[in-house]
Chains A and B, each alone.
Chain A
């Protein structure tokens, strides 16, 4: 089976053609960098996404956060539910861990700016 994908690694958006044997990647065409090749392979076997969202701050307001590594795509909504339950301290700085190892994915949820501007 041939699967066609748009690479999401960078703004170039290369069109990829992946030849699959069941879930096994046989060959990849159309990529222009190593990261694109890795994306094509992981996308067909176990798609991953970096989650970016906001988390509630103690005492009100929100602060932007992200997972510091991609998490399985099918867990995005469950991760959202976890992040929305968290409460970030009002003095948190950029890069502070809000949730460690979210849902056992190995990724931490970290702030992407200082809460206080």
Chain B
């Protein structure tokens, strides 16, 4: 016996809440948010540092404050949500199966679904580091939850592998709480984190950042007693002569985030091999009509402000779909040259202006971002520097593409003329 709902939103983090509010504002009332944690807010609950909301609210908020602004809107609008609720399955005809300890197992037949499950950290299993598997190895996000939500310190002497933003933020956080962070090792010759986090999280506390270095061995049987790090060559192979032992009791991993799309796969929705998220059009609609995706489940964002923006697009489009307003066909495919790794959306229509988000494969200096229709150059935007850690955005206007020759727009990174 299934209940019915106009809109089911899976995930009550920043993406799910923004989408819910946008759908409500577009006239939808029969909404339900399903959240597996004990409160709304998602990952922002443990991101107690500041720097959120500069674009959206023109002020610098902490993660919990940013989340609270959306939670208040959800509560004021009386948008229903269920906490401690795990979604187990979704089908291509939009039946959601979920369970919690109050309702037991239940099903919802939805007119529309928004996927807003966020992402997961890449874990130690994915790294293949030699050695025992002692206690004391955590993903940076797990350590962040222990310290910021549970109030426990996971260790005293710390090495961090990976220089993603969470790793950098945790280097500072552990240091402030009295731990000694001995090193941050980054496999690549550049950091994956924001420049300002290198400055305020590492440089402020004289924490060394070893670029082109990795952890080659973990020592200790019951508990980590140290790690061996080594420099890597251009092919990212460790150089044996550079091996160096560092005594520590904790290894934190900040080695990348993966969109969490198990449910998306349940409904047989096509995923983009690069983003790990669904293939979507400019309304963030997946290949199944009425199923949308937004936030880190779609592609990993640097800034929550952009998650909110994207989720509003999805929420509004879901409302239009429920109300039966047909959207123009999205038959223009966006393709990339490899230096541009991916775009979101992957498909657009020629009817309206669209902002396309993308990431690049490497650090490139003095280049141009070029968008072409066949041989025709539509956009040639010069950039001093682009880097994988920083998402780029480019707006394609309806004017530009109303007389397209082909049905494909290609995105590439090219050397500026004369270089």
Contacts and interface: CB of A to CB of B under 8 A. Distances in A.
Interface string B162-195: 0000000000010011000000000000000011
B151 A73 contact: no
B199 A64 contact: no
B148 A64 contact: yes
Given A5-B199, A11-B303, 20 more contacts: A6-B196, A8-B200, A10-B51, A10-B54, A10-B196, A13-B194, A13-B196, A49-B204, A51-B176, A52-B50, A52-B62, A53-B177, A54-B151, A62-B148, A64-B64, A66-B48, A77-B176, A80-B177, A113-B45, A117-B38
A54 B199 contact: no
Interface in B130-150: 147-150
Given A11-B51, A117-B38, A50 B198 contact: no
Contacts, number: 73
B408 to A, nearest CB: 32
Contacts of B49: 52
Contacts of B198: 6
Of the candidates B38, B149, B151, the one having the most CB atoms from chain A within 10 angstroms of its own CB is B151
A24 B280 CA distance: 53
A6 B194 CA distance: 10
B196 A7 contact: yes
A76 interface: yes
A5 to B, nearest CB: 7
Nearest to B64: A113
Contact of B151 (A5, A52, A61): A61
Interface of B: 38-39, 45, 48-51, 54, 60, 62, 64-65, 68, 147-151, 173, 176-177, 194-196, 198-200, 204, 302-303
A50 B54 contact: no
A114 B176 CA distance: 23
A94 interface: yes
Contacts of A10: 51, 54, 196
Nearest to B305: A11
Given A6-B198, A8-B196, A49-B204, A66 B176 contact: no
Nearest to A51: B176
A49 B62 CA distance: 14
Contacts of A13: 194-196, 199
A64 B45 CA distance: 9
Interface of A: 5-11, 13, 15, 49-54, 56, 61-62, 64, 66, 73, 76-77, 80, 94, 112-114, 117
A80 B176 contact: yes
Nearest to A10: B54
B48 A64 contact: yes
Given A76-B176, A80-B176, A94-B65, A52 B199 contact: no
B50 A66 contact: yes
A117 B38 CA distance: 8
Considering the complex of A and B, which 5 residue pairs feature the smallest CB-CB distances, nearest first? A13-B195, A62-B151, A64-B48, A113-B64, A8-B196
A112 B204 contact: no
A53 B51 contact: no
A112 B176 contact: no
A112 B51 contact: no
Contacts of A7: 196
12 contacts: A8-B199, A10-B51, A11-B194, A13-B195, A53-B177, A54-B151, A62-B149, A77-B176, A94-B64, A94-B65, A112-B64, A114-B68
A94 B176 contact: no
Nearest to B152: A62
A53 to B, nearest CB: 6
Contact of B68 (A6, A73, A94): A94
Contact of A64 (B39, B54, B62, B194): B62
Given A6-B195, A66-B62, A112-B64, A53 B302 contact: no
B97 to A, nearest CB: 27
A117 B183 CA distance: 36
B148 A49 contact: no
A113 B194 contact: no
A69 to B, nearest CB: 11
Contacts of B302: 11
A73 B65 CA distance: 23
A3 to B, nearest CB: 13
Contact of A11 (B48, B150, B151, B196): B196
Contact of A52 (B48, B150, B196): B48
A94 B63 CA distance: 12
B54 A11 contact: yes
A35 to B, nearest CB: 10
Contacts of B150: 62
Nearest to A77: B176
A100 B195 CA distance: 32
Contacts of A15: 195
A66 B173 CA distance: 13
A9 B62 CA distance: 14
